[in-house]
Amino acid sequence: MSPPAPIPLLILVSAPSGAGKTTLCDELLKADANFQRAVTCTTRAPRNGERDGVDYHFLAPATFQQRVAAGEFLEHATVHGNSYGTLQSEVLDRLRSGHDVLLNIDVQGAASVRSCAGRMPELQRSLVTVFIVAPSLAELERRLRHRATDPEEVVQRRLAAARGEMAHWTEFDYLAVSDTVPDGLRRLQAIVEAERMRQFRVKPLEV
């Protein structure tokens, strides 16, 4: 007899800049075919090669604000003059189709999603939050400097922001160290497999 299908997961991954969460999320999507990325809405213009509905949902600023006012977003923020956000429908539609959903968002967005899940049982039973960290602040600084794309003041600003974000790690279900990409992916996959077997998510067995 095949095991019963579990309730789909909503894996929310957050981390300070430089910890490697985007790389780990990309690797998880490649490694696990049941995962789908929640497509973010944005008010910025499409870049070359970007496709509406695939890379982002591109919205006019007025439309974005209308949807904010209507309470349609799980989380949203303004970054460098452009708005970004995750629609409730984007996540719920994918969960209801039986797919696991992956959210890659910052600490502030994670708090907003947790708040929404507290009012929405359908989200609450799927939500699992993971905070990714580098092995040390020294390693985080090394990674930020290794990019060799940011001036010193930007690196220092990112490090200060990282310290502030790391103070929120206790708000997450899991803390995963990303020392190397393979080890970080292995830990993330272990979390996924364990959560798929949680008894409250698995449909009752016929005995």
**Per-residue model confidence (pLDDT) at position 1:** 45
Residue 171: band (very low, low, confident or very high) from pLDDT cuts 50, 70, 90: very high
Average model confidence (pLDDT) for the chain? 87
Q: Which domains does the chain have, with CATH numbers?
A: 10-38+99-196 (3.40.50.300)
For residues 207 and 204, what is the distance between their CA atoms, to the nearest angstrom? 9
Q: What angle do CA 180, 35, 84 make, to 5 degrees?
A: 85
Least confident of 17-21, 117-121, 126-130, 149-153: 149-153
Per-residue tokens: 96:
């209801």
Cβ atoms of residues 111 and 165 within 8 Å: no
Q: Is the pLDDT of residue 148 over 60?
A: no
Quickly state the pLDDT bin for 4 (edges 50, 70, 90).
low
Q: Are 106 and 149 in contact (CB under 8 A)?
A: no
pLDDT band, very low/low/confident/very high, at 94 (cuts 50, 70, 90):
very high
Q: What is the identity of the amino acid at 193?
A: E
pLDDT at 174 over 50: yes
